[in-house]
Amino acid sequence: MDVHHKVAGVKASDAAGAHKKDLETQGKYGVKYIKYWFDEANGRIYCLTEAPNKEAAIRVHREAHGLVADEINEVTENT
Amino acid sequence: MDVHHKVAGVKASDAAGAHKKDLETQGKYGVKYIKYWFDEANGRIYCLTEAPNKEAAIRVHREAHGLVADEINEVTENT
């Protein structure tokens, strides 16, 4: 799970466009961007990702659109 | 989406126990705790919740186990 704390001025369409670029880029790094949650009022974005390691996930964001997350944590999913 | 930044010493079984209490408590506040993601190494927890408002979600955590999140954001889910 990564977190973009406050992406100034980002709209839902901007986030969707960036996510699309992630999906186009991720394959060569063995990464899968699964979902993201967006708070448009505050510019906050959470991205859930399957990746071999943090660095691979970061690389996809950097190459796809350059908006690297502020933090990233290795998590287990629970229901 | 809420975030517990660093819950000191929490184990996966502790998080599961707290989540179970959320599920037992949520009904009377119209809240649904859906999933959570846990980073045991850093004590970080993300909780995804459907709720009529932030206050209702906070109330469930407070009443169920007392571990209120450090922050909570209203988000839309996207794939």
Report if pTM > 0.90.
yes
Residue A7: what pLDDT? 95
Contacts of A26 (CB under 8 A, 6+ apart): A32, A33, A60, A64
Listed residue (B60, B74, B12, B25) closest to A77, CA to CA? B12
Residue of A nearest to B74 (CA): A39
Helix (H, G, I), strand (E, B) or coil at B48: strand
Residue A75: what pLDDT? 98
Q: Are A18 and A66 in contact (CB under 8 A)?
A: no
Residue of B nearest to A42 (CA): B73
Could you report the per-residue pLDDT of B25-53, keeping only the tens digit for each? 999 999 999 999 999 999 999 999 999 99
How many helices (H) and strands (E) would you count in chain A?
2, 5
Amino acid at A36: Y
Q: Quick check: A35 and B79 CB within 8 A?
A: yes
Q: Are A42 and B71 in contact (CB under 8 A)?
A: no
β-pairing, B32-39 vs B44-50, is: antiparallel
Q: Quick check: B38 and A75 CB within 8 A?
A: yes
Could you report the per-residue pLDDT of A28-54, keeping only the tens digit for each? 999 999 999 999 999 999 999 999 999
Which chain B positions have a beta carbon within 8 Å of A20's beta carbon? none
What was the ipTM of the complex prediction? 0.91
